[in-house]
Structure 1
Amino acid sequence: MNERAVAPGGLALVEALVNTLDVETGRDALDTPEGRAAHGLAENEVAAARELREALRAACLAHAGHRPAGGPPATALDGLLAAAPLLVTVADDGTAALRPAAPGTLTSRVAEAIAAAVADGTWARLKACEAEDCQWAYYDRSPSGRRRWCSMSVCGARAKMRTYRARRTTAG
């Protein structure tokens, strides 16, 4: 959807990966050479990237209080990230950071982004749209952190219209 701003820091990578699949149309950017190149993927890495993408979508849905319909549970992400261990590195000035043990892989970059987002408190604000025909990842910048849709003008309006029509049908 177009009314959202890009997620901060490394979460932009996670958001972009989840959004490589347009659930409504079924179009998958990972099917194209450009889409694979945008994520640094070789063609033989696409299946693993799709598995990671859907586990991330499940986590984003969980952040918004939803369960994925037929997809993996949010805990599936644990097993995938176990293949990308992070190391604590300390610089000469004493600052510490988490770095991938095997940098360069998509899973390692995602693990590093999630660890940084957990540390700065932004991980739980990366959510997936409540609309089953959308599930677009978005960063919730609302003050209360309780946003439900990627776009109020599209998915939110559709949901509210369905609720309105259901009430009118019940009342009529």
Structure 2
Amino acid sequence: MNARSPAPGGLELVEALVNTADLESGADRLDTPEGRAELGLREDEVPAARELRESLRAALLAHAGHSAHRTVTPLTDLLAPAPLRLVFDAGDGSAALTPAGPPTLASRVASAVAQALIAGTWDRLKACEAADCHWAYYDRSPAGRGRWCSMQVCGARAKMRRYRAK
């Protein structure tokens, strides 16, 4: 659905996870071996991944100024068991936050969000305003006021609905 370029850095993982569910068709890539492999998940990890996905979607909807589509587990609770550690590169002195233990989906997401917070890009990852979409996208607009994953699809539909309502 989304024709935009992927989110920068680790946010690409968050975007990919949220976009495993196509709300319009009902398809869920977490139901397929290929979809799970893209995220490095085992089948037994899918229920937790779905819960994390919907909590992330709620946060991305909030970034775009929209209400959550349903009640979700707070991200704080879901990511609490995913401790991070600060790792320094001896060569250039750069630092990164990485999972403190074995990398799970939650710890990789926590690391990606932490890096995005540092880079100032977390609030630019949003979810589409369209109720039948809620696709994650990275808002590259200068003012940071993007509302739809695609102006050509969801944005055009919304404008047409408003026009017809008049």
**TM class, shorter-length:** over 0.9
Alignment of 1:1-172 (within 5 A): 1-72=1-72, 76-93=74-91, 94-167=93-166
Q: Structure 1 vs Structure 2: percent identity of aligned residues?
A: 68
Instruction: State the AA in 2 paired with 1:133.
Output: D
> Which structure has the larger Rg over C-alpha atoms?
1
SS in 1 for 2:6: coil
Instruction: State the AA in 2 paired with 1:36.
Output: R
Instruction: State the AA in 2 paired with 1:92.
Output: A
Which runs of structure 1 show a deviation greater than 3 angstroms over 4 or more consecutive aligned residues? Answer: none
- Measure how far apart 1:91 and its partner are: 3.4
Instruction: State the AA in 1 paired with 2:128.
Output: C
Give the structure-2-normalised TM-score: 0.95
- Measure how far apart 1:97 and its partner are: 2.1
Q: Deviations over 1:5-59 (max 9, x none)?
A: 1111100010000000001111000001111111111111000000000011011
After superposition, the CA RMSD in angstroms is 1.2
Give the structure-1-normalised TM-score: 0.92
Task: Quote the Cα distance in structure 2 between the aligned partners of 1:143 and 1:69.
Answer: 27
Task: Quote the Cα distance in structure 2 between the aligned partners of 1:37 and 1:114.
Answer: 21
5+ long unaligned stretches in structure 2? none
